Amino acid sequence: MLAPHPVPSANPAVPWWRGAAIYQIYPRSFQDSNGDGVGDLAGITRRLDHVADLGVDAIWISPFFTSPMKDFGYDISDYCAVDPVFGTLADFDALVARAHHLGLKVLIDQVYAHTSDQHEWFADSRATSDKADWYVWADPKADGTPPSNWQSVFGGPAWTWDARRCQYYLHTFLKEQPQLNVHNVAVQDALLDVAKFWLDRGVDGFRLDALNHAMADPLLRDNPPAPEVPGQRRTRPFDYQDKVHSQSQPEMVYFTERLRGLANEYGAVFTMAEVGGSNALEEMKAFTLGENRLDSAYGFDFLYAPALTPDLVATAMAEWPGDSGEGWPSWAFENHDAPRAVSRWCAAEDIDNFASLKMALLLCLRGNPILYQGEELGLEQDDIPFHLLQDPEAIANWPLTLSRDGARTPFPWTDDERGGFTTGTPWLPLSPANRARAAVVQSAAPFSMLKATRRLLALRRAHAELRLGRFELLEATQNLLVFRRTLPQGAVLCAFNLGQVDAAMPVDTAGMTLLASINGGDSSELPGLSAWIGRTAG
């Protein structure tokens, strides 16, 4: 095991999180410690050495709070408790202590847009107590139909009738996930108390789930139709609307300021918003503008892209040039909701080469790179048959929606049937293809994806230009992507051939020191699916 490592920046004026590499852990699928087939907090603690050895700076843990698990933890019934399937608060405290001992910061999800319908707040609200307007309730139209045309992500109206109140309540996702009314200052106060609870337990930051869904138009105006996009297939009623009224309300920025104010009381706490939708960039910019709002926004540019192209990267980087007052971007190529990138972006026979190429690219981008568990092994998307599906979105929209379960299958620590994940029956099956990429197998191989990831993360840590430098695009043609990361003390040239055809290096590399060669890339030629990274001192 590597020794605990310091934070990347030795400059106290640069916060620890700027340029930090973050490792996302989906707790159900990382490591089971008690044989019930579901991963847990004690299992995460047991495997933290693996994460620290990678050379990342922080972990982000997806929800582990008390929940009926209708949406696997994103339907929370108690924000300040650990669901028994994941362990106890003592297990969480032990995890934080071990992570900090290894030099890892700990980020957790906060879900402020909705709760479970089993939350005591919702029970009080439907009983018209002092929490009557803590959720979004509305009378029916004169004909008894829902108050607006808003649609749910999971299919059907975003409104469910409640006979106890004789009103509809709003839910952007499952009907078991009623929407909080974050316009209400009392709700904001309660959510800030939740954040304080976890900050007091030692967490170092938050990823804020679906933050732009936390406020809806108080007038409940109908959404207009969304324009058709040529070549894009609509699979859900949700996709037919422009969600200008059901989400994305401008008042959200004032709540981000309140949250940032609380974070500031605890020092260098990192706050990162998840913002999706057709207006995501504008909202991400607003949520992170200046010194009084959130630190970063989690970009969706790559998560559902059908191909990794130079133009895609160039466009994403151009949106965050580093202007004064601008927030700091964070990037992921895959996560627990999005299909594994190698299954979207390359042919099966190219997975090994492509996995190392895309990892190098992710770690060279300006911003915070977020690695999803198993990405360091080059895991592919698993095909889960309908009778084994757990994902409610996939079940509701079958077969048009690609199952999220395919990216949530257990981490293969070993290459046996259970993958070293559990002594019981895994909650989702492990495929033979991914078991063959098990961590124990790759640890023993001299040139594995796992070892390449460690080397690339070490390279990022060793060169401040890759963590903090400006991004200067030099070339973005059909397959060639070349950019420079610069600081006063030096510049790092990053050249990628994302295509299959060999190409000459398009820029002059004279006088540069080789830092990394991926799949045979060198200073004069870039074979297909290769990269070359070199540095010039300032």
Contact by Cβ (8 Å): 45, 148: no
Distance of CA 47 to the CA centre of its chain: 20
Q: Please list the active-site residues.
A: 209, 265
Q: How confident is the model at residue 7 (pLDDT cuts 50, 70, 90)?
A: very low
Task: Outline where 17-119 has alpha helix (H).
Answer: 41-46, 48-54, 89-101
Backbone angles phi, psi at 331, to 5 degrees: -130, 140
**pLDDT for position 3:** 35
| Residue 274: closest CA among 338, 343, 185, 323 | 338
As given in the structure block, the two tokens for residue 71 are 């949406």
pLDDT (average), residues 125-150: 96
**pLDDT for position 1:** 31
Backbone angles phi, psi at 40, to 5 degrees: -150, 175
332: part of which helix (H) or strand (E)?
strand 328-332
344-383 residue pLDDT tens: 999 999 999 999 999 999 999 999 999 999 999 999 999 8
**pLDDT for position 402:** 67
393: part of which helix (H) or strand (E)?
helix 392-396
pLDDT (average), residues 16-36: 98
Q: Buried b / exposed e across 296-318, counting CB within 10 Å, b at 16+?
A: bbbbbbbbebeebbbebbbebbe
Residues 6+ apart with CB under 8 A from 317: 365, 366, 471, 473, 483
Residue 9, pLDDT above cutoff 60: no
The sheet that has 490-497: what strands, in order across it? Answer: 470-476, 480-487, 490-497, 530-537, 513-518
Beta bridge partners of 482: 475, 495
Residue 469, pLDDT above cutoff 80: yes
The rounded percent of the chain whose pLDDT value lies above 70 is 97
pLDDT (average), residues 503-513: 96
33-50 residue pLDDT tens: 999 999 999 999 999 999
**pLDDT for position 426:** 96
Q: How confident is the model at residue 412 (pLDDT cuts 50, 70, 90)?
A: very high
Backbone angles phi, psi at 444, to 5 degrees: -90, -10
Distance from C-alpha of 536 to C-alpha of 538, rounded to nearest angstrom: 6
Distance of CA 94 to the CA centre of its chain: 24
Domains annotated for the chain, with CATH where assigned, are: 22-116+184-222+243-392+405-459 (3.20.20.80), 469-537 (2.60.40.1180)
Residue 399: cis peptide before it, omega within 30 degrees of 0: yes
Distance of CA 441 to the CA centre of its chain: 27
461: helix, coil or strand?
helix
pLDDT (average), residues 274-281: 89
The rounded percent of the chain whose pLDDT value lies above 90 is 88
Task: Outline where 288-384 has alpha helix (H).
Answer: 310-318, 341-345, 351-364
Q: What is the pTM of this model?
A: 0.95
Distance from C-alpha of 379 to C-alpha of 156, rounded to nearest angstrom: 34
How far apart, in Å, are the Cα atoms of 139 and each of 183, 476, 481? 18, 53, 54
Q: How confident is the model at residue 2 (pLDDT cuts 50, 70, 90)?
A: very low
**pLDDT for position 400:** 66
Distance from C-alpha of 500 to C-alpha of 334, rounded to nearest angstrom: 22
Residue 387, pLDDT above cutoff 90: no
**pLDDT for position 276:** 87
Q: How confident is the model at residue 75 (pLDDT cuts 50, 70, 90)?
A: very high
Contact by Cβ (8 Å): 268, 202: no
Distance from C-alpha of 170 to C-alpha of 158, rounded to nearest angstrom: 6
Distance from C-alpha of 383 to C-alpha of 84, rounded to nearest angstrom: 29
Distance from C-alpha of 404 to C-alpha of 153, rounded to nearest angstrom: 14
Mean pLDDT rounded to a whole number for the chain: 94
pLDDT (average), residues 184-204: 98
Task: Flag the least confident range among 75-89, 122-136, 376-390.
Answer: 376-390
